[in-house]
Amino acid sequence: MEYKQSVKPDKSIKKDIYLEQKILSASPEQLVAYVFDVAIAGCIKRDFDKTSSALNILIRSLDFDSDTKTKELSSKFYQTYSYLFELLRKKKFEKVQSYLKDIRLTWAKAMNVY
């Protein structure tokens, strides 16, 4: 007699495949918006590690090697993200979330991504 085990599809695998495809097909501007989304979700969950990881990714995405105007803008974003880290260390998740939402909204409008 043969034993057949019924295997139910794992919904998380489908979700991961969808997420992977979403990331692989995203523009660089959209990827930055996704990182903001992760940081905001981390704040909502009061997850220090998730939020700080996302902030680190945002910092590493800054371009200090381009023209003067880009360097200046990157420097301002670096200062902003550093301030958000300071707030995060103080466990002020709501304040960090509020700033991130504002920055993400502005980014999405400027880059025409959502």
Q: Where are the domains of the chain?
A: 26-111
| Share of residues in the chain with pLDDT > 70 (%) | 87
Q: Please, are residues 95 and 69 in contact by the beta-carbon 8 Å criterion?
A: no
Is the pLDDT at 24 greater than 90? The verdict is no
User: Looking at residue 45, what DSSP letter applies?
Assistant: T
Q: Is the pLDDT of residue 6 over 50?
A: no
pTM as predicted: 0.81
